[in-house]
Each structure stands twice: as C-alpha cells, then as structure tokens.
Structure 1
C-alpha cells in the first residue's frame, strides 16, 4: 500500500484536449444579435449601467454568450481607461 502512494499519475494531453488555445484554433462563428436572449442582455445591463446595448451585445457575441465573462471584460476595459486618465493627470503635475 505504501508503494502505491508513491506512484505518480501522469496526464497525457492529446491534440483534442488543446482546442481552447488561441493559436491554431478555428475562429468561432459570430452569434447573430437577433438570437441573443433578451435575458442575457438584461443581466449584463443591470451591472453595466450606462453601457450601450450594442456594446453589450458585441461583447456577448465575443464571449459566446458568457454573461460573466462579457461583464468582466467590459468592466476591466473601463478600469484600464480610467487608469490611463489618472496616470496622465499625475504625470502632468509638477510641484
């Protein structure tokens, strides 16, 4: 039994397991805006108040209708945009 506990398990990945990578993967077809469920758009709008409907729909299409990922992507872009403005303001101030 002690010998079994020392045995290591090895995972061998085949080409089929690697389909989620960006390099060499096939582009996913764009989901038409007309088939995006209204409920998903509404869920995103609740969090992303002030974002245009078209921006939300575009991000839902990019994320294959993953609302959480779409919201996180849009929020992180807002953070990056806000950080850029703060950096330039502090750099331009000379004591």
Structure 2
C-alpha cells in the first residue's frame, strides 16, 4: 500500500476527513472520505488487486472505468426503538443525523 501519500494532508484538511480500514493480520485497505468541499471525495488504497467497498448507488458512477462485481445485498441497520437505550448512558454519544 502506498501509505507515503497519506502524510501530505495539511492540518486544515484533517478535520474534514474520515478514515476507514480493513485489517486482517495487517492493514489491507484504507478508505478516506474528504468532506471539506461541496463534492465529497472518496479515496481508496489497497495492497490487494481489488478494493472492496459498499458503494450503494455510487456503483454506476464507477462502472465505466472500473469492473464492478455484485456480491449481494447490503442492509443498513437502524435503531428503530430508542427506548432500548433507556438503561444506558448515552450522554457522550454524538448524533450523526
């Protein structure tokens, strides 16, 4: 993985980044989402020949330039009964909505 290219993010930009990683013994894949502009940027790095990602509706955007393989449905989870959290201290939680 070309991890050297990760170091050039100025401090100003870091606050607008979210990082995800896939680790199996060692770090295999990294995804960066930059949200500091009107158009979010998804950047993926991998040591594998394939980058695995849940693209949902974005797959059609990449289809002309990349080989997309469907591996089944991806179901999002949602907390539909907030009362289930009544016994837990969630005061330090961050609302993502």
Higher relative contact order (CA 8 A, sep 6+): 1
Higher helix proportion, which one?
1
TM-score using structure 2 length: 0.22
TM-score using structure 1 length: 0.22
Higher strand proportion, which one?
2
